[in-house]
Amino acid sequence: MLHFLTDMSWVEAGTAEQSPYANEVAYSIGMIWALVFIIDFIYSWSFTIFPSKKKK
């Protein structure tokens, strides 16, 4: 498993055969989850970088 964490070339390959996932379904679910995680991460950090102004 350490190999997959240090060498991310399997992400560029885009196939389940070269990934740490057991089959194509698990690979697809993992890629969708990663996309949602990245979008949520950016959205959450937007509140840190651009905080809302408090009303008086």
* Dist. CA 10–CA 13, nearest whole Å: 5
C-alpha 56: how far from its chain's center?
Answer: 39
Domain that holds residue 6: 2-49
Question: What rounded mean pLDDT belongs to the chain?
Answer: 82
Residue 45 domain-assigned? yes
Contact indicator for 27, 21 with CB cutoff of 8 Å: yes
Q: Residue 35: pLDDT band by 50, 70, 90 thresholds? A: very high
* Dist. CA 31–CA 49, nearest whole Å: 27
State mean pLDDT over 34-44: 94
Write the DSSP symbol of residue 8. T
Task: Look up the pTM and report it.
Answer: 0.64
Residue 39 domain-assigned? yes
pLDDT for 3-28, tens place per residue? 766 777 777 777 777 777 778 888 88
Residue 9 domain-assigned? yes
**How many domains, in total, are found in the chain?**
1
Sign of the C-alpha dihedral computed for residues 39, 41, 42 and 44 taken in this order: positive
Question: What pLDDT is stored for residue 44 in this prediction?
Answer: 93
Residue 55 domain-assigned? no
